[in-house]
């Protein structure tokens, strides 16, 4: 028997012949479409397993002329932080893989310190009516309004980097923000001496709606609440992003509380804090987030002691690929796909991959 004959015997036609159904029915089962009874579906799936049949779905996509349109909606990179360069690279890597299968990506960006820019881009996305959306939600009220409109329009969406619980998203791909903060507190617990305090620093123009920062803080506080040590936590919210304002906020906290030994910055702007900390006459342990060049420089000089990283490039890459698989092949997605929470130091940063 030649390879062509063997392929035909194990193909859709052979499955249909053995099951006593049409090839169209087998196709519906393979692509998880409705319109097949449970009994028939079970019989067809048993034959598929017996023959170890693997449909070439990507070849089918190549033969299809239907273009899949996916919109990505993430913050733009800024002078204050280059964090979003990583997710953009992940989106571009995924785009390079799926573009051959008639998939077109439309990239939308918003200023993470400007609500109006989010609303403007959200309206543009809804106007184009893509087949799916990868969203990094930021402003809570505006994000909820946007996804409510997506639900009404029947547009599926995947969250990355931060989640909005209780929504109709296909999946969330990103860190467990609460556990990320809890882990940071556990780490800090090994660094504090008796009577030492820890300073939590949130840096954002929109702190009250920047829920990924607040969720980390909630996890951090929960650790010390469990241990009856909430009194050791000092908090400073800094709403202006220029270095002078950040340094002034940190300086004021350290002047009022001379027993602060550890500073925990809840986002990637830890380098702005490091610029001030490195000039202090005494050592303050500094912990922050994200594998960025400006942060790594301070990590290398030991001004930043620990960086917590959660693979933002992979988050975005997986988000695009998940949407492609779901839209093109009706592949079911896990509702939650947590990324690992990595602790990076001067000793291991050189081998770390985002």
In residues, how long is the chain?
A: 354
Q: Could you tell me if residue 219 is inside a domain? A: yes
The answer on 171 and 181 residing in a single domain is no
Residue 117, domain CATH: 3.40.50.2300
Q: Could you tell me if residue 346 is inside a domain? A: no
Q: What is the pLDDT of residue 55?
A: 65
Low-confidence ranges of the chain (pLDDT < 70): 1-10, 54-65, 80, 207-210
**Phi, psi torsion values for 222, nearest 5 degrees:** -60, -35
pLDDT tens-digit readout, 201-230: 999 887 666 678 889 999 999 999 999 998
Q: Two tokens at 31?
A: 């692509």
Domain that holds residue 32: 3-55
Q: Could you tell me if residue 321 is inside a domain? A: yes
Q: 265 and 291 in contact (C-beta within 8 Å)? A: no
Which of 271, 291, 309 is the last residue in one of the domains?
309
Q: Could you tell me if residue 347 is inside a domain? A: no
The answer on 233 and 138 residing in a single domain is no
The answer on 124 and 68 residing in a single domain is yes
Q: What is the pLDDT of residue 33?
A: 78
The answer on 182 and 236 residing in a single domain is yes
The answer on 41 and 82 residing in a single domain is no
The CA distance from 81 to 268, in Å, is: 7
The answer on 192 and 300 residing in a single domain is yes
Q: Could you tell me if residue 351 is inside a domain? A: no
Q: What is the pLDDT of residue 58?
A: 58
Q: Tell me the whole-structure pTM to 2 decimals.
A: 0.79
The CA distance from 320 to 95, in Å, is: 8
The answer on 207 and 156 residing in a single domain is no
What are residue 210's DSSP bridge partners? 139
The answer on 72 and 156 residing in a single domain is yes
The answer on 116 and 189 residing in a single domain is no
Q: Could you tell me if residue 348 is inside a domain? A: no
The CA distance from 292 to 239, in Å, is: 22
Residue 32, domain CATH: 1.10.260.40
The CA distance from 49 to 192, in Å, is: 57
The answer on 257 and 241 residing in a single domain is yes
The answer on 183 and 171 residing in a single domain is no
Q: Two tokens at 237?
A: 């919210």
Q: Phi-psi region for residue 228, left (φ > 0), alpha (ψ -120 to 50) or beta? A: left
Q: Could you tell me if residue 270 is inside a domain? A: yes
DSSP string for residues in 311-334? -HHHHHHHHHHHHHHHHHH-----
The CA distance from 212 to 172, in Å, is: 13
Q: What is the pLDDT of residue 192?
A: 94
Number of domains in the chain: 3
Evaluated on CA atoms 118, 132, 338, 97, the torsion sign reads negative
User: Token match 């008796």: residue?
Assistant: 194
Longest dimension (CA), the chain: 85
Q: Could you tell me if residue 222 is inside a domain? A: yes
Q: What is the pLDDT of residue 221?
A: 97
The closest alpha carbon to 115, from 144, 133, 149, 138, belongs to: 138
The answer on 201 and 231 residing in a single domain is yes
pLDDT tens-digit readout, 292-351: 999 999 999 999 999 999 999 999 999 999 999 899 888 889 999 999 999 999 999 999
């Amino acid at each position: 028997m030649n390879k062509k004959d063997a392929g035909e015997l194990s193909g859709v036609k052979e499955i249909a012949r053995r099951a006593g159904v049409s090839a169209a029915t087998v196709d519906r089962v393979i692509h998880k479409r409705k319109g097949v009874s449970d009994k028939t579906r079970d019989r067809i799936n048993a034959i598929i397993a017996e023959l170890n049949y693997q449909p070439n779905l990507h070849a089918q996509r190549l033969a299809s002329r239907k273009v899949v349109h996916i919109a990505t909606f993430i913050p733009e990179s800024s002078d204050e932080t280059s964090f979003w360069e990583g997710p953009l690279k992940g989106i571009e890597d995924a785009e390079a893989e799926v573009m051959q299968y008639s998939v077109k990506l439309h990239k939308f960006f918003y200023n993470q310190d400007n609500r109006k820019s989010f609303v403007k881009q959200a309206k543009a996305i809804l106007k184009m009516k893509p087949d799916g959306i990868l969203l990094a939600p930021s402003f809570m009220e505006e994000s909820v309004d946007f996804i409510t409109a997506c639900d009404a329009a029947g547009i599926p969406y995947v969250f990355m980097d931060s989640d909005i619980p209780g929504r109709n998203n296909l999946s969330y791909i990103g860190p467990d923000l609460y556990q990320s903060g809890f882990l940071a507190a556990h780490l800090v617990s090994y660094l504090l001496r008796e009577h030492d305090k820890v300073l939590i620093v949130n840096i954002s123009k929109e702190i009250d709606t920047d829920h990924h920062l607040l969720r980390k803080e909630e996890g951090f506080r929960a650790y010390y609440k469990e241990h009856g040590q909430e009194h050791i936590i000092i908090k400073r919210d800094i709403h202006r992003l220029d270095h002078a304002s950040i340094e002034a906020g940190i300086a004021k906290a350290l002047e009022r509380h001379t027993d602060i030994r550890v500073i925990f910055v809840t986002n990637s702007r830890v380098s702005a804090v490091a610029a001030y900390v490195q000039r202090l006459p005494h050592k303050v342990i500094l912990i922050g987030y994200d594998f960025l060049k400006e942060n790594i420089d301070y990590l290398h000089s030991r001004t930043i002691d620990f960086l917590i990283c959660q693979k933002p490039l992979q988050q975005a890459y997986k988000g695009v690929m998940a949407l492609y698989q779901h839209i093109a092949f009706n592949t079911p997605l896990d509702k939650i796909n947590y990324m690992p929470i990595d602790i990076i130091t001067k000793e291991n940063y050189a081998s770390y991959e985002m």
